[in-house]
Each structure stands twice: as C-alpha cells, then as structure tokens.
C-alpha cells in the first residue's frame, strides 16, 4: 500500500523520510516530551503517490523563471491543481481514516502539517513557507493532506528555495497528522532571543491557539527569561483578540473576543514560564543548538510541545566573539543610571587598575600593550547602566587561569557553560611559571597590601591637599593635576584586584574545610566572620554614634538638632557661638575623615557629606531617633561570634592538624576582609576628592555661562570636560546638558534592566520593552521565598522597600528590602532589624555589613522588591535563608513613617 500513515514504532527505521517536523517529533517522543499523538505519511510514500505526475511537474518547473514572482505564481497554481485533483486509492483512503479514528478517537480534530525533507534544519527553517491546516475533521482530511503536498511547490516556497540556493522541491515532503490540543493558551519559545539579548529566553503567548501568535492574528504577551537566573521580565499586552476553532467549518479557525477579565491579565504564570524555560534549555542541550518551540496549555493546565526546530538566524560560529555584559558586583557600586562623566571616570580607573593587576599576575607587558583595547573596554555603558564586559575579562583571565579545568570552572561559575568558550592550552613550561607567580603572590600579597596602603595614602594626601586649595589654581593646572595624579593613584590601586582574588580563595578554602567537620556546615562560616575587629567600614558608623552620645548629653545640642538639617549644618559652618567647641571639632573631624562615605559613593554625581553637610545632619537626627548604640551592636556581634567559635572548637577537638589549618584559613579570611574594606573606604576618599575637583570645574563653567549649574558637569563626557579645562573650548554646553538630562530621565524609566546581556558585536539589543510599567516578576501569592542566608538571626518585623534612598531616610527597626546595597548603606542598615536583597553573595558588601553588625541578612531573594510591599510583616531567618510573609500591616505606625 503506497499511501499509508505510519505510527512512531513503524517510523523508527525511516526517520529521514519523515521530514523536518516529523523527525523532530520522533526525537521529542523518544526523550519523553509531552507531544500530542501523531501519524506521518512518509516522503517515500508521497513520492510514490506523485510518481504519475512527476514528469509534468518537472517540465513545468524547468520552464519557470523563479526570479519572476508572477511566473512562480502561475506555475504554482497549475501544479497545485494537478496535485489536488490526483486521486487517492479508495482502500488507501479508508485505511488512512481508520488509523486516525483508532489513534485519536471518534469525532477527532487534527492538525495537518507539511514536513519537507529540507526544512527545520540548522540552516533553512522554511518558516511560514509550507502549509499547515488546523482543526481538520475526518471529512476534509485527505484534501488537506494533498494541499500540504502541493505547498512544497507553492509560489512562496519556490521563491524561498531559489533565494536560499535550493532545488525546486525534488527532495520530497512528508505529511504529519497530529491530534489537536484544545488549547486555552499557546505560543512560541526561543531558547535564545535571536536579534535581542541572547542571554534571554523569549516567550510569546496568547489566549486560544498558537496560530494567533505565529501568524500575528491574536494579541500576545511577551516574556523575557534570563537563561542563568530565570529572572522574568514581562511585557503584558492588552489582549482583545484570540483564535479558536471555527465550529461552522470543516476545518480552520476564527477570531473571537478575549474575556473581559483576561484582557489585561498575564497569559502565563511564573511557574509556567519557568517550566517552558527549563524545557527549552533541555532541548537546546539535547539538540546542540538554540531551539524554536511551539507549545500549548490545555484548559486543565497541561503542557504540550507541538514542535521544535533550530533557530536558523543565529550564527553560532561567531559566538566566541559575542559581547557579554554582566552587572554582578559592580551594580553595588553603580546602581541604576550613572551619568556620562561618572562612567568615563570609572572606565579610566578600571583600565589602569586592571592593567596593573595583569602585570602583578605576570602577564607579559607586550600582551598588555597589544590588547590595550581590551583594557579600555572592561566596562560598558548601556542604557545608562554600567556593566562588566565579561568577554574582555575572559581574554585577560585566560592569561592567568592556565589550566583547562580552571578556565572551564570559571566559565561554569559565570553560568556560560552553554556558549562556545575559547580555551587556551599552554605548555608545561608556561604552567610551571604561572604556578610560581601565583605562589609568590600568595606569599607576598599581605606585604603588598601594606605597601599599597602606604603608597595610596601618600597619593591621597597629595590629592586632598590640592583639592582643598583648588580655588587658587588655574583651570588648566587643575586638569593637568588630575591626569597626572589619577594615573599614579590607579597604579597604586592595582594590588586590590590581587587581594580580591585571595579573599575569594581563602573564603572558599575555609568553607570547604568547615564542610568536612561534623556540625559545622550550617552557616558557621558566616558567623565566624561576624564582628571582625578593626573593620574600617564600621568606623564611620561608630564615629556617628559618638556624635549622637555627645548630643544626648547636652541640651544646647539637642535643641540645635531639633531644627531642620540645613539650618543645623549652616549654624555649625558659621561658627555659632552656642555650639560647644569640642562638638564643632568632632563635627569637622567627621567630615574630614569620613565625609566621602555616602550612598552610591562611586557615582560622581552623588554629592559627598563634605559637599552637603546637611546630609550628615540628617543622618545624626535619624540616629537620635533610633534606639541603636555601639554597645548593643558589639554585644550582638560578640554573642554570634562566640557561639560560632565554641561550635568550631568542639568540632576540632582531638584534631590538632585540622585545627591548625582551619585557624590559619580563618585568620587569613578575616584579615583579607579587613583589608578589602580598608581599600573600599580609601577608594571612597579618592572618588570624593575627584568629585570635588570636577564640581569645581563645573562651577567655573557655570560662572562663564556655559552651564546652568555646577552639577551639570557630570552629564559631560571626560573628553568634553578636557576640551574646556585643557583645550580652551568655551562653547555653551547648556543645550547638550538638557538633552543628556532628558536621556537620563528616559533611562530611569527602564526599572528592570537585565543583569546580563549577550549579543554579537555592534548589535546592541533593543530593550524598549524594559521601559514598560509592571515589567517585573508577578507579585505572587506565595508566602515563602528562599535566598542565601549570610548573617544568622531570626526577626519578625514590617518591611521598608527601598529603591533609591537618601541619607535622610528614617528606618525604625523595619526589615530593609532592596535590590542591592553599597557601602554608604551602613547608615540605614544600622537602623534596620533585618536586610533582604535581590543581589548579593557571601562576599558582597551586603553580606559583610550584615555579618559585622550582627543583623539577620538574606541575599539573592529573586524578585523581592516586587513580591513585597511596604508594611508587609515578615519572618526573616538569616541562617536558613528564608523569607516568610506573615501578614500585611494595617497601617504604618507613626514611628515607622519614612522621614
């Protein structure tokens, strides 16, 4: 029998005859995917049935100019007529219908799909070129199958083949007959967002049948899911139209209205989206290339996979050169939008610091010089946000990570295992030399840190002295000083990268050793790092508490600080005789020593306390309203650390060798964290001096009528400021500033930018969908979420959700909920009873501050700022890493209202 539908058991031996869709369905079933039942008419059966027409078809095609659309159209109409009129033997027809009834049941409806032998391969998709017929009943099945065969020689298919350099259809076609899914919701998934951010899985979904999405006949939502974190961004549309089966026709669909209560609702839930993401990535791994899937959910919520094929528009051969942007860690220093001058200065700093670190790690000077553009572009500025260029960082680290295992490990750590990744394979000599360099660094890095501190302090002293006397300097002199001292300052800063490396390794080794001890794996490493003595990041807060104690002991100071913050700062600056001399001196000493520590302190546009002393007055007023004091904080730290040390001592009893190893690692880890925090506060001082220097230049531009206000200088590029200060360019910048401010305002509307972006060089993705309101993850009804517990303790309190706080923000024992923190947050964190952050790691600033203050802290809580709202009552467990929503507070108590 020639015309015969076969089931998957009979087709196993002839998969190549099943065409692109058919052979894909066979693989999906073998892998256990949720595929609706199907039968296939193989291509050899179709060819045998068409044999009587073959010579006429070939002659007609030979006489057709396929560059001429009109000739293609005429030829296709003629050939289609022959095929549709070609009979199917009565016995064959009866067998076809009987097989469908047996598999699909009486009264079935099915999808009839073309499956050309050349389609859905890695190169040619034939997307939309071949015919598919939906909701086909038994009475029309044979005609729709013939129409699918005819579509192989349709006008658009002939044109497509010609432009893809393919023959005119001689390789054949199969036909798939598949049971229709009564789809309530359906759509398409790309495992990589071709033409967009390749680190995202993109899902388009609509109510009704998926043909509405594929053919743009229904209104659909779009969802963007990060491949690494599974974070979801939603672009939810207002949906008026859906496609559904047409009950009045033998086959086909009709448009209908979406129910009123569904129009503005998201088509898919977060759980369904992650289910689709997992399925897409699983298929990508199995198939060895990015996948294009069609799916449907029935009314009961069951998922069906209708087809899967490669994404042919992606050139995976060029993946080694893709740009990879990531905001991990750097988003703590540069949250949100950073103005152009701040980015240019950061890029300059990274170029010098990482080049110096490369030299410290023994990378040859010739390689560093030849790859100057790599160091120049270690950072990227996209939509106002600062990202690391991981592709360039990989080029540098490949010279340090000399073993294949270490390079693969770094690739896995970054979550990039699915991408082609160039691996260097140095010889034994190079590996021995690299090991020698790392050994020397390990033995000498503490000494280098001390040398760094001395060199940096010397440079910083000179920088500060110049800035304090800047009013008497010529403009060109200011710029020359900046350029010469900036390079020297950054050169002295390079060893911090080495320290960060060893901080990470020491913590990793310490936690590994603790994990081998009985009863020591449950957050003990975090507790042992609580309350590290002499931690520099505590010093500003302790000095602030000293100011608080002095005020509480003096009624004159209490009356002063009851006034508005701006008035307090003005009276202290003007030398108000009523203010005690010792307090005025303490106030001045605070500004001198810690006046550069503030929120978002590395962003040049953020004023320091030196520049805005009223901010310090607000901070003191907040502390006066808070019950926190240094003794309470120290007692809490000592209790956590003492309990941890007792647990450790018990586990190390009778293990003298292990006790010695753990002791050395713990001491090293504590010192490394101490050094890291010292370097951070010194960095803040250097950036603070640069802010003042640039602000002084802005003041001169304002005085000359080139800017409306001094702060506008931060909207300029570094070379534009250089042109004024060094090149004598005195052109009016006010129109340019206005345009840049408009751009920054538009960029701030992108409240949910992706953490990682991947794209080919020169093809930055269109991210306009991130500006849509409500684009984050759904505020789900779930009451429990899990993150990474980094500071032990359990607390129940109401929440305060903060995005862009000010130092004047009042926190009265609430649980702070935020995307991330930076070092300046210590003044807010100390007033909180707990911390929840969407970002962070064991060594992030949030973790370090939470541990050192003994405040229960959980980081890595995905979607926390959209899941929670102000006033939600929580139970936070900083040891287990759990956040449990208990109830909504009826209203804010007066004591918890933000100032």
Per-residue pLDDT averaged across 838-844, rounded?
69
Q: What is the DSSP letter of 264?
A: S
Dig out the tokens for 214 from the structure. Answer: 């594929």
Q: Are 153 and 79 in contact (CB under 8 A)?
A: yes
Q: Are 140 and 84 in contact (CB under 8 A)?
A: no
Render pLDDT for 534-592 as a digit per residue (tens, 0 to 9): 778 888 988 999 999 999 999 999 999 999 999 999 999 988 888 999 999 999 999 99
Render pLDDT for 347-393 as a digit per residue (tens, 0 to 9): 999 998 889 888 877 888 999 999 999 999 999 999 999 999 999 98
Q: Which residue has the higher pLDDT, 415 or 769?
A: 769
What does the DSSP assignment read for 520-546? --SSHHHHHTTT-TT-GGGHHHHHHHH
Q: How many CB atoms lie within 10 A of CB 172?
A: 20
User: According to the model, what pLDDT value does residue 328 have?
Assistant: 82
User: According to the model, what pLDDT value does residue 179 have?
Assistant: 96
Q: Domain 783-885: which topology?
A: Glucose Oxidase; domain 1 (3.50.30)
Dig out the tokens for 57 from the structure. Answer: 């078809």
Residue of 788, 786, 791 lying closest to 855 (CA atoms): 791
Of the pLDDT bands very low, low, confident and very high (cuts 50, 70, 90), residue 121 is low
Pairing of strands 241-245, 232-235: unpaired
Render pLDDT for 265-320 as a digit per residue (tens, 0 to 9): 999 999 999 999 999 999 999 998 999 999 999 999 999 999 998 887 777 777 88
Per-residue pLDDT averaged across 397-425, rounded?
69
Q: What is the mean pLDDT of the chain?
A: 86
pLDDT above 90: residue 431: no
User: According to the model, what pLDDT value does residue 485 have?
Assistant: 83
Residue of 806, 849, 747 lying closest to 606 (CA atoms): 806
Question: Would 8-179 and 183-310 be classified into the same CATH topology?
Answer: no
Dig out the tokens for 135 from the structure. Answer: 């909701």
| DSSP helix/strand/coil, 11 | helix
Render pLDDT for 652-691 as a digit per residue (tens, 0 to 9): 998 999 999 999 999 988 888 888 888 888 888 889 999 9
The span from the CA of 850 to the CA of 401, in Å, is 32
The span from the CA of 624 to the CA of 824, in Å, is 19
Q: How many CB atoms lie within 10 A of CB 780?
A: 13
The span from the CA of 760 to the CA of 619, in Å, is 46
pLDDT above 80: residue 447: no
Query: Which residues does 180 contact at the CB level (< 8 Å), separation at least 6?
Result: 36, 108, 109, 110, 111, 134, 135, 245
Longest Cα separation, the chain: 112
Q: Which residue has the higher pLDDT, 418 or 329?
A: 329
Of the pLDDT bands very low, low, confident and very high (cuts 50, 70, 90), residue 189 is very high
pLDDT above 70: residue 176: yes
pLDDT above 50: residue 897: no
Question: Euclidean distance between the first and final Cα of the chain, in Å?
Answer: 84
Is pTM beyond 0.95 here?
A: no
Dig out the tokens for 403 from the structure. Answer: 């073993």
The span from the CA of 550 to the CA of 544, in Å, is 10
Strands in 834-837's sheet, in edge-to-edge order, are 784-786, 882-888, 872-877, 794-801, 815-818, 834-837, 857-859, 788-791
Q: What is the DSSP letter of 196?
A: S
Q: Domain 183-310: which topology?
A: D-amino Acid Aminotransferase; Chain A, domain 1 (3.30.470)
Q: Are 899 and 881 in contact (CB under 8 A)?
A: no
pLDDT above 80: residue 890: no
Q: Answer yes or no: CATH 3.30.1490.20 is held by domain 8-179.
A: yes
User: According to the model, what pLDDT value does residue 420 have?
Assistant: 65
Of the pLDDT bands very low, low, confident and very high (cuts 50, 70, 90), residue 896 is very low
Render pLDDT for 315-344 as a digit per residue (tens, 0 to 9): 777 788 899 999 987 888 898 999 999 999
The span from the CA of 212 to the CA of 243, in Å, is 6
Residue 202's DSSP bridge partners are 190, 224
Most confident of 216-220, 439-443, 846-850, 889-893: 216-220
Q: How many CB atoms lie within 10 A of CB 620?
A: 23
Of the pLDDT bands very low, low, confident and very high (cuts 50, 70, 90), residue 736 is very high
Per-residue pLDDT averaged across 48-71, rounded?
87
Render pLDDT for 796-830 as a digit per residue (tens, 0 to 9): 999 999 877 777 788 888 999 998 787 678 778 88
The span from the CA of 747 to the CA of 720, in Å, is 21
Of the pLDDT bands very low, low, confident and very high (cuts 50, 70, 90), residue 168 is low
The span from the CA of 636 to the CA of 633, in Å, is 5
Domains of the chain: which residue ranges? 8-179, 183-310, 334-517+655-749, 536-637, 783-885
Query: Which residues does 790 contact at the CB level (< 8 Å), separation at least 6?
Result: 526, 840, 842, 844, 846, 847, 850, 851, 857, 858, 859, 878
Dig out the tokens for 723 from the structure. Answer: 């042109």
Query: Which residues does 437 contact at the CB level (< 8 Å), separation at least 6?
Result: 361, 362
Pairing of strands 815-818, 834-837: parallel
Question: Which segments within 311-411 are labelled E, that is strand?
Answer: 323-326, 379-382, 385-389
The span from the CA of 615 to the CA of 755, in Å, is 31
Per-residue pLDDT averaged across 832-840, rounded?
87
What does the DSSP assignment read for 656-691? HHHHHHHHHHHHHHHHHHHHHHHHHHHHHHHHHHHH
Of the pLDDT bands very low, low, confident and very high (cuts 50, 70, 90), residue 408 is confident
The span from the CA of 573 to the CA of 557, in Å, is 15
Q: What percent of the chain has pLDDT over 90?
A: 48
- Residue 598, phi then psi, degrees to nearest 5: -155, 180
Q: C-alpha angle 723/725/729, rounded to 5°? A: 45
Residue 257's DSSP bridge partners are 241
Of the pLDDT bands very low, low, confident and very high (cuts 50, 70, 90), residue 891 is very low
H/E element, 77: helix 69-85
The span from the CA of 675 to the CA of 392, in Å, is 27
pLDDT above 70: residue 160: no
């Amino acid at each position: 029998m020639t015309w015969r539908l076969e089931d998957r058991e009979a087709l196993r031996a002839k998969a190549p005859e099943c065409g692109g869709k058919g052979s894909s369905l066979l693989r999906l079933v073998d892998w256990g995917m949720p595929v609706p039942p199907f039968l296939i008419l193989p291509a050899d059966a179709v060819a045998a049935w068409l044999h009587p027409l073959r010579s006429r078809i070939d002659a007609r095609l030979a006489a057709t100019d396929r560059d001429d659309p009109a000739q293609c159209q005429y030829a296709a109409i003629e050939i289609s007529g022959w095929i549709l009129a070609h009979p199917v033997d009565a016995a064959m027809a009866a067998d076809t219908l009987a097989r469908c009834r047996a598999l699909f049941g009486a009264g079935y409806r099915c999808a009839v799909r073309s499956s050309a032998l050349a389609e859905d391969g890695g190169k040619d998709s034939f997307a939309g070129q071949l015919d598919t017929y939906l909701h086909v009943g038994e009475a029309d099945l044979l005609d729709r199958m013939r129409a699918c065969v005819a579509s192989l020689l349709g006008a658009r298919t002939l044109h497509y083949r010609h432009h893809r350099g393919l023959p005119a259809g001689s390789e054949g076609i199969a036909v798939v007959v598949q049971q229709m899914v009564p789809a309530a919701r359906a759509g398409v998934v790309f495992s990589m967002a071709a033409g967009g951010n390749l680190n995202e899985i993109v899902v388009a979904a609509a109510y009704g049948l998926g043909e509405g999405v594929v053919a743009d006949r229904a209104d659909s939502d779009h969802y963007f899911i990060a491949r690494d974190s599974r974070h979801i961004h939603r672009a939810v549309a207002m949906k008026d139209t859906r496609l559904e089966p047409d009950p009045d026709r033998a086959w086909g669909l009709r448009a209908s209205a979406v129910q009123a209560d569904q129009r503005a609702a998201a088509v898919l839930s977060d759980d369904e989206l992650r289910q689709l993401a997992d399925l897409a990535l699983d298929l990508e791994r199995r198939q060895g290339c990015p996948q294009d899937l069609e799916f449907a959910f029935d009314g009961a919520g069951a998922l069906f996979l209708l087809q899967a094929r490669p994404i042919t528009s992606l050139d995976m051969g060029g993946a080694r050169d893709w740009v990879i942007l990531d905001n991990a860690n750097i988003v703590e220093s540069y949250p949100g939008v950073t103005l152009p001058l701040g980015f240019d200065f950061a890029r300059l700093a990274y170029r010098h610091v990482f080049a110096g670190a490369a030299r410290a790690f023994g990378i040859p000077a010739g390689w560093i010089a030849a790859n100057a553009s790599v160091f120049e572009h270690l950072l990227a500025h996209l939509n106002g946000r600062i990202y690391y260029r991981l592709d360039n960082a990989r080029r540098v680290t490949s010279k340090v990570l000399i073993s294949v295992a270490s390079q693969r490990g770094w690739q896995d750590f970054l979550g990039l295992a699915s991408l082609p990744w160039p691996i260097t394979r140095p010889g034994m000599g190079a590996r021995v030399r690299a090991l020698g360099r790392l050994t020397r660094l390990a033995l000498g890095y503490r000494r280098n840190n001390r040398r760094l501190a001395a060199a940096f302090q010397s440079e910083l002293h000179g920088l500060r002295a110049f800035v304090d006397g800047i009013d008497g300097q010529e403009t060109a002199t200011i710029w020359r000083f900046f350029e010469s001292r900036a390079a020297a300052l950054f050169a002295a800063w390079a060893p911090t990268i080495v320290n960060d490396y060893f901080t990470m390794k020491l913590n990793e080794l310490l936690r590994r050793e603790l994990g081998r001890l009985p009863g020591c794996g449950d957050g003990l490493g975090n507790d042992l790092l609580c309350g590290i003595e002499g931690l520099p990041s505590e010093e500003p807060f302790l000095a602030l508490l000293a100011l608080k104690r002095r005020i509480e002991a003096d009624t004159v100071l209490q009356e002063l600080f009851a006034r508005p913050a701006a008035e307090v700062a003005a009276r202290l600056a003007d030398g108000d005789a009523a203010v005690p001399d010792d307090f005025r001196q303490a106030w001045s000493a605070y500004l001198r020593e810690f006046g550069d520590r503030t929120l978002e302190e590395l962003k040049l546009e953020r004023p320091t306390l030196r520049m805005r002393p009223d901010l310090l007055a607000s901070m003191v007023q907040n502390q006066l309203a808070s019950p926190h004091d240094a003794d309470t904080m120290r007692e809490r730290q000592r209790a956590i650390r003492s309990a941890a040390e007792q647990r450790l001592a018990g586990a190390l009893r009778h293990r003298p060798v292990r006790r010695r190893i753990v002791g050395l690692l713990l001491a090293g880890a504590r010192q490394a964290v101490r050094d890291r925090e010292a370097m951070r506060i010194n960095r803040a001082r250097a950036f603070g001096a640069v802010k003042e220097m640039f602000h002084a230049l802005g003041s001169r531009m304002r005085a000359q009528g080139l800017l409306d206000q001094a702060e506008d200088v931060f909207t300029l590029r570094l070379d534009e400021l250089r042109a004024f200060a060094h090149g004598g360019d005195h052109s009016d910048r006010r129109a340019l500033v206005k345009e840049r401010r408009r751009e920054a305002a538009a960029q701030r509307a992108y409240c949910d930018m992706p953490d990682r972006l991947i794209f080919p060089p020169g093809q930055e993705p269109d991210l306009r969908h991130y500006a849509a309101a409500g684009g984050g993850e759904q505020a789900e009804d779930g009451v429990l979420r899990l993150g990474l517990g980094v500071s032990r303790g359990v607390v129940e309190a109401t929440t305060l959700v903060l995005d862009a706080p000010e130092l004047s923000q009042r926190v009265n024992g609430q649980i702070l909920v935020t995307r991330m923190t930076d070092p300046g947050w210590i003044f807010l964190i100390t007033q909180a009873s707990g911390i929840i952050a969407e970002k962070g790691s064991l060594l992030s600033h949030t973790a370090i501050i939470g541990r050192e203050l003994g405040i229960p802290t959980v980081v890595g809580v995905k979607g926390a700022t959209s899941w929670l709202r102000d006033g939600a009552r929580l139970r936070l467990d900083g040891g287990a890493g759990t956040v449990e929503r208990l109830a909504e507070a009826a209203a804010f108590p007066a004591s918890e209202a933000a100032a």
